[in-house]
Amino acid sequence: MKIAILPGDGIGPEIVEQAVKVLNVLGESFEMETAPVGGAGYEASGHPLPEATLKLALEADAVLFGAVGDWKYDTLDRPLRPEQAILGLRKNLKLFANLRPAIMYPELAGASTLKPEVVSGLDILIIRELTGDIYFGQPRGVRECPDGPFKGEREGFDTMRYAESEIRRIAHVAFQAAQKRGKRLTSVDKANVLETFQFWKEIVTDVHKEYPDVALDHMYVDNAAMQLVRAPKKFDVIVTGNMFGDILSDQASMLTGSIGMLPSASLDANNKGLYEPSHGSAPDIAGKGVANPLATILSAAMMLRYSLNKAEQADRIENAVKKVLAQGLRTPDIYEAGTTKVGTTEMGQAVVSALS
């Protein structure tokens, strides 16, 4: 099995190095090939997603991605900015389902801004649709307002849309994920106001007929945002559109205390995927050896589970992470009095030791 390793910028190379170390001690014969992406891609060949990097990602069975971006590229034309690499990879690899687990390890309950009893033991999975919705709908732009009270003024506008097949395929991913977990799925919409989401609700309800073992409920996005901080543990799997998913997954990430703990997967129709930590390239701490590598290590575990069919190895990694947390090891972002502060490399090494 071939894994494309794309470390990227900022803390990307430091944290990906730890995940590669972990993959190397599993006793599997993965072929791993590294290529530059983001700002590193731009430096190497004048484009954030160099042709050779894209070719490698297309050939590989899975992609392990660090993070891209740095303030020094902010003045480049938009198509040359590091972040464009992610959009290019998503499009070329036809990734449409973004899976973001938010897990609160009991040892870290004190690191959340919410009361420990609200978040301790939290384990939810947010599934965000990635290709449709208001982010890509046409037409969009700024025009002269054609009618109504603001007629003649300039107005900005976008188009919210979802095709039936787009809703069906993400609903299948969500029901199947729920089958492997607590068998409960919440579909988040705004069906009371938006036609697109009335349609979404209708299609998700129809797909549900194929998954009678999963309990489905529907929730308006405003209520979901409130419930996520009021009683987050009542959720199992949440599925929603591109925009609501963008917002709710970031909100859920903060329930767990640190963005440095959150892995993610973006999957295509055949479970090939791109795996990356939910955070960015953190240029403020890059090169200091303090970044938390656990989100990337847990992303590698997701890669084993969803793309490489190695669920047992994924479990081993997740258990090793629990073990190092139970040992009291903490990078600065999750450090609390009474625990042991370690750097990026020590944390990676501790996971390797826990595995062996």
Of the residues 9, 105, 133, 190, only one is catalytic, namely 190
Give catalytic status of residue 246 as yes or no: yes
Residue 222, marked binder: yes
Kindly list the strands in the beta sheet with 237-240, ordered across the sheet, starting from the edge strand earlier in the chain: 31-34, 2-8, 62-67, 273-277, 263-267, 97-103, 123-129, 237-240, 184-189, 215-220
**Cα–Cα distance measured from residue 265 to residue 135, given in angstroms and rounded to the nearest whole number:** 20
Q: Quick check: 280 binds ligand NAD (CB under 6 A)?
A: yes
Q: Quick check: 77 binds ligand NAD (CB under 6 A)?
A: no
Give catalytic status of residue 222 as yes or no: yes
Judged by beta carbon, residue 81 or residue 201, the one nearer ligand NAD is: 81
Q: Pick the binder of ligand NAD from 13, 245, 260, 348 (CB under 6 A).
A: 260
Within 148-187, which residues bind ligand NAD (CB under 6 A)?
Answer: none
Give catalytic status of residue 190 as yes or no: yes
Q: Pick the binder of ligand NAD from 107, 189, 236, 333 (CB under 6 A).
A: 333
**Cα–Cα distance measured from residue 9 to residue 39, given in angstroms and rounded to the nearest whole number:** 6
Within 310-329, which residues bind ligand NAD (CB under 6 A)?
Answer: none
Judged by beta carbon, residue 232 or residue 277, the one nearer ligand NAD is: 277
| DSSP 8-state code for residue 213 | T
Q: How many CB atoms lie within 10 A of CB 2?
A: 12
Q: Quick check: 346 binds ligand NAD (CB under 6 A)?
A: no
Q: What residues pair up with 277 in beta bridges, in sequence order?
A: 263
Counting every residue, how long is the chain?
356
Within 105-134, which residues bind ligand NAD (CB under 6 A)?
Answer: none
Judged by beta carbon, residue 196 or residue 256, the one nearer ligand NAD is: 256
Within 32-71, which residues bind ligand NAD (CB under 6 A)?
Answer: 67-70
Evaluate whether 89 touches 63 at the Cβ level (below 8 Å). Answer: yes
Evaluate whether 9 touches 26 at the Cβ level (below 8 Å). Answer: no
**Cα–Cα distance measured from residue 55 to residue 50, given in angstroms and rounded to the nearest whole number:** 9
Residue 168, marked binder: no
User: What is the distance in angstroms between the CA of the first residue and the CA of the last residue of the chain?
Assistant: 22
Give catalytic status of residue 189 as yes or no: no
Q: What amino acid is encoded at 266 in this protein?
A: S
Of the residues 250, 268, 322, 323, only one is catalytic, namely 250
Residue 333, marked binder: no
State the residue for tokens 């801004």: 113
Number of residues that bind ligand NAD (CB under 6 A): 22
CB of 9 to ligand NAD, least distance (A): 8
Q: What amino acid is encoded at 299 in this protein?
A: S
Q: Which residues are annotated as a binding site for substrate?
A: 90, 100, 128, 222
- Residues in the site for ligand NAD, rule: CB under 6 A? 11, 15, 67-70, 83, 86, 259-260, 276, 279-285, 291-292, 295, 333
Catalytic residues: 135, 190, 222, 246, 250
